[in-house]
Structure 1
C-alpha cells in the first residue's frame, strides 16, 4: 500500500528557497506540501507546524537551507521507523544529522501535546529538537539515522549565514561543543578566500562578545529573535560584494565535485539518481572510544553507508547464534565499532576484498575515556538519559554480549582492558601482515583524517572538516 508522505517546507526567504522546494518535491514526491513562510523566530515556526491537520503516514520536516540531491521516495515508501534524522553535508561542520527529519504521524501527534516551559534553555536553542526528544522519550521510541546526499547551508545569503552562525555560538557553550566550534573556526580561517567563512567567523565573534556565558534563557531568546535585524546591520560592515542569483548549474557542479567518487562509479550523471555501491564492505574494527563514531561519519561523507554499533533485535539474535553474516549488511556498506571485533576474520572471508580500519589512540587516554564511558553505562541497567529512547532490553543484552566477547568483563578494570587493547592490536596486525592494502591503522584522536582515509579507500581527498565526533582529544590535538 502506498504511504502518504507530507512535506513541511520552512522558509524565511533563503537564497536557496525556490530551488530547494523544487528539489524536495522531485525527490520526496509528497502527497501534500505545507509551506511555512517567514515565521520568526524558529520556535514560532515549530508551533505553527504543529497546528497543521495532517492526513498522512509520515511528515518530512525540512528547511529551505537544504538541497536534496538524491531520490528519497523509495526509502520513504518502505520506511517504518518512527523517526529518522537525515545526515546532510553542512558547509561549516561537515557531515551532521540536521535539517531534514522524517517523522511518523503518531509521533507528530504526540509532539502536539508536549508542553515545554517557555524559557527552557534547550527549547530556546533547539525548539523542534527539544519537543521531538520529549515526545520520543514519552512514547519510548527510538531515533534512527539515514545518510542522503543533501547540501545544508551551502549557497546561503550572507545575512542568513550570520544569523545561523551566531546561533551556533550560543549552542556551543559547553566544554565539548566549544572545542568543536574552535576547531571549525580554524578550518574557516584556512579558507578565508571563501567569504561565507569570513561572515561565519564574524558572527561567532560578535555573539561571543554580545551575550555573556551566564546569560539567562530570556536574554538568549530575545537575542535570537533579534538576529535578523542584527545581521542586517553587521554584514554590510564587512563590505562584501553582492551575491548573484543562484542557479541549478552551480549546484550541480558543486554536487559533482563533492560526490565525484560516487558519481564516477556509475554511468549516470545526475547526482539525484546515483545508488551507493554495494559490492564491497568496509569494517571498522577499532575498540570503543577510539573514534569509531567519527569514522562512521567520515565513511558516510565518502558515500559508504556504514552503521555504528547496530542494536536491533535481529542483530542480537544473530550475535547469539554466532552468525556474523549480519542482516544489516544487506542495507549498509559496512559496520563500525565492537560488533565486528569477534568476527573480523570471518567477515574477511564472507566478503572478499573488503577493507578494514583499526582505529587507535593513546592507550592511557583510551583507558581514561573507557572509565568515564562505562561509569554511566552499567551492564545490567542504564542510567544514561541518552538511552531513554532505545529498547533497553535489547540494547543491554547486546551490551553484555559484546563486553563479554570483546573485553572479558562487564565493569571497568584497567588491567584487563589494557591487556585487551594490546592483544587486539597485535592480533589485527598479525592477521593482515601480508595484506597491507586491506588494513588501515587510523589514529583519529591523534589528528589523522581525510588524507589517510581517502588514500586507503582510493578516493580523492575532500575539502571539508573531518567529523571528529565527540572526540575532545582529537580536537585538542588539531588546535595544539
Structure 2
C-alpha cells in the first residue's frame, strides 16, 4: 500500500458507527484512519482545515498526511472532494436507523458542543477545547450546510422529522453520485463480511467486529478530560 494516499473514504454522518469503522479499517490494514478524535487528540491539525471555512481549498495530501482512510466529520462532509482527489479510493457510506441516529446526535450535542465548561479546565482539556473552538468555523460551515437554518451545533438540532429527512437526502446524494462498484453502503451491525469483500481483504478469523464509542463511553471520555485532564481514547472499549 502506498503511503500518504487515501484508499478508503468515509461518507457517513457522525454517530453512524464511525468509531467502530475507524477501528475496523485500522485492523484491516487501512490505517491510520483520520477521525474527529484525530483533531481532538492533536489540536495542531486544526489549521490544515481552516481554509475550507472561507470557501478556500486545501491540499488534501497535507490534511491527511500519514493517513490511509477517513471517517467522521469534518472529513466525511468533504467526501465528494476527496473522491475526486483520490479517484482510486473506495467510499464507505455508514448508515443506521435514522431515528436512532437522531437520538445519538442529540446526546453528542448535549455533552459536546452544547456543554457548559468550567473556567478552570486542566491544561490538557483547555488545549482540546481550545482546538475545537478554533475548528468551529469549519464545523459551523458543515452545520449550516447540512442543517439549513442552524448556524452551529451549539444551537441544537432541528426537530426529528426535519433531521431524518436531511439524513435520508444525504444517503440518496452519495448513492447517486458514485458508481456502485466504488461505493459500499454499510451498517456496522453487518460485521466483517461485506466490508472485507468490498475492500478485497480477508476478515480477521475469530474476531468480533468492533463496536465502540457508545454514548456512555463518549460521555465518560469527556467527563474524564474535564475533571482529570486525561484524554484517553474512545477506541479502546467495546459496547
Deviation at 1:382, TM superposition (A): 5.1
Counterpart CA distance in 2 for 1:452 and 1:406 is 28
Segments of structure 1 that go 5 or more residues without pairing to the other structure are 1-264, 266-275, 473-478
Q: TM-score, normalised by structure 1?
A: 0.37
Equivalent pair of 1:341/1:406 in contact (CA under 8 Å): no
Per-residue CA distance 1:446-478 (angstroms, 9 max, x = gap) = x21211111111001112121111248xxxxxx
Equivalent pair of 1:377/1:383 in contact (CA under 8 Å): no
Give the structure with the higher percent strand.
Answer: 1
Matched residue count: 194
Counterpart CA distance in 2 for 1:298 and 1:289 is 15
Counterpart CA distance in 2 for 1:299 and 1:391 is 25
Alignment match, 1:236: none
Deviation at 1:436, TM superposition (A): 1.3
Alignment match, 2:52: 319
Alignment match, 1:251: none
Per-residue CA distance 1:37-92 (angstroms, 9 max, x = gap) = xxxxxxxxxxxxxxxxxxxxxxxxxxxxxxxxxxxxxxxxxxxxxxxxxxxxxxxx
Q: TM-score, normalised by structure 2?
A: 0.71
Segments of structure 2 that go 5 or more residues without pairing to the other structure are 40-44, 216-238
Alignment match, 1:456: 198
Per-residue CA distance 1:334-378 (angstroms, 9 max, x = gap) = 221122344222211111111111100011111111112211223
Out of 96, 100, 112, the position equivalent to 1:377 is: 112
Q: CA RMSD in A?
A: 2.7
Q: Which SS does the other structure have where 2:96 is aligned?
A: coil
Equivalent pair of 2:34/2:75 in contact (CA under 8 Å): no
Alignment match, 2:11: 285
Alignment match, 1:395: 132
Give the structure with the higher percent helix.
Answer: 2
Q: Which SS does the other structure have where 1:373 is aligned?
A: helix
Alignment match, 2:63: 328
CA pair 277-460 structure 1, distance change in 2 beyond 3 A: farther
Alignment of 1:7-406 (within 5 A): 277-304=3-30, 305-309=32-36, 310-311=38-39, 312-321=45-54, 322-326=56-60, 327-378=62-113, 383=117, 388=125, 390-396=127-133, 397=136, 398-406=138-146
Per-residue CA distance 1:171-220 (angstroms, 9 max, x = gap) = xxxxxxxxxxxxxxxxxxxxxxxxxxxxxxxxxxxxxxxxxxxxxxxxxx
Alignment match, 1:412: 157
CA pair 459-419 structure 1, distance change in 2 beyond 3 A: same
Considering Cα pairs closer than 8 Å and 6+ residues apart, tell me whether 1 or 2 has the greater RCO. 2
Equivalent pair of 1:307/1:335 in contact (CA under 8 Å): yes
